[in-house]
Structure 1
């Protein structure tokens, strides 16, 4: 997956991303809900805790999303594979403090995860103040994918233990 459009498509579709941070104790990886807008990823957080402290201490981050497909079998041992798409983003994190900007981004995040038919009350000032909003400015982005090829003979969904028809 080389085109920026394909990478952005996966970032828009993914429900969960993984945020990698540097701490004094070593690497820290945490799954997060997020919002992707061109050039940036937004993550919300409590204003206390390991993730918050790590982001305050060092804004350098890596962010990953992926989509795992079925496994692919082959008569050759080294031909066994996994279909997937993934994107890695490297960038720097900063906290959004402007209440109007924070509210606008959080509303977009709610729209991503909550069905439009579900009633959601507006954020009050206390909720807004108690929520940290992190903007990750994407500096570099790479993507990788393994698609089905003629070398793959049988596709298996190992979690359902069934063989899918050859394509």
Structure 2
């Protein structure tokens, strides 16, 4: 799918990674027998060999786990740098932000070493600190990864919509 407002699209991978680094919450959308379901999660990520992988952890059961066991297709969204753009007229107000949206497949991580890497990346991204994890620590949670098929970035700057 192509972005309607090409003037707001972020295409450079370096800039896309800067946006992801600034975002701390990722909203993951999935579908189950009850319908669409979206949930915010803390996340970590790796970008290697032109492949974005998003890691998150979860309790071992619940709607999210059941939905992903049933259907691994997901969409995701993250945003940051929110700021109200004021104006003299109500219709000229706007909002400044940066965002990433995409889709991919969610997979349960079972390998202990990959679970440790996932948790390391999650905590590094959230806190800026390095933590180590033992087998018992990662065995207490479900660890999942989204292998991203496609993602785009968008930046709405300091100019209110319709004003240039």
How far apart are residue 125 of structure 1 and its match? 3.0
* TM-score of the aligned structures, taking structure 1 as reference length: 0.78
Match of 1:149 among 133, 136, 159: 159
* RMSD of aligned Cα (Å): 2.2
Q: Is the 8 A contact 2:31 2:37 kept in 1?
A: yes
CA pair 135-75 structure 1, distance change in 2 beyond 3 A: same
CA pair 125-12 structure 1, distance change in 2 beyond 3 A: same
Distance 2:89 2:150 in 1: 36
Segments of structure 2 that go 5 or more residues without pairing to the other structure are: 1-8
Determine if the alignment matches structure 1 residue 26 to structure 2 residue 35: yes
Residue 70 of structure 1: aligned partner = 83
Match of 2:136 among 106, 126, 130: 126
The 5 A counterparts of 1:14-163 are 14-38=23-47, 39-114=52-127, 116=129, 123-149=133-159, 151=163
Distance 1:7 1:141 in 2: 9
CA pair 142-50 structure 1, distance change in 2 beyond 3 A: same
Q: Is the 8 A contact 1:62 1:90 kept in 2?
A: yes
Segments of structure 1 that go 5 or more residues without pairing to the other structure are: 153-167
How far apart are residue 142 of structure 1 and its match? 1.5
Q: Is the 8 A contact 2:44 2:123 kept in 1?
A: no
* TM-score of the aligned structures, taking structure 2 as reference length: 0.80
**2:75 partner SS:** strand
**1:83 partner SS:** strand
How far apart are residue 106 of structure 1 and its match? 1.0
Residue 20 of structure 2: aligned partner = 11
**Alignment coverage as a number of residue pairs:** 149
CA-to-partner distance for each residue in 1:15-66, whole Å, 9 max, x for gaps? 1111111111111111100012111111111111111111111110011111
Which structure would you say has the larger Rg?
A: 1
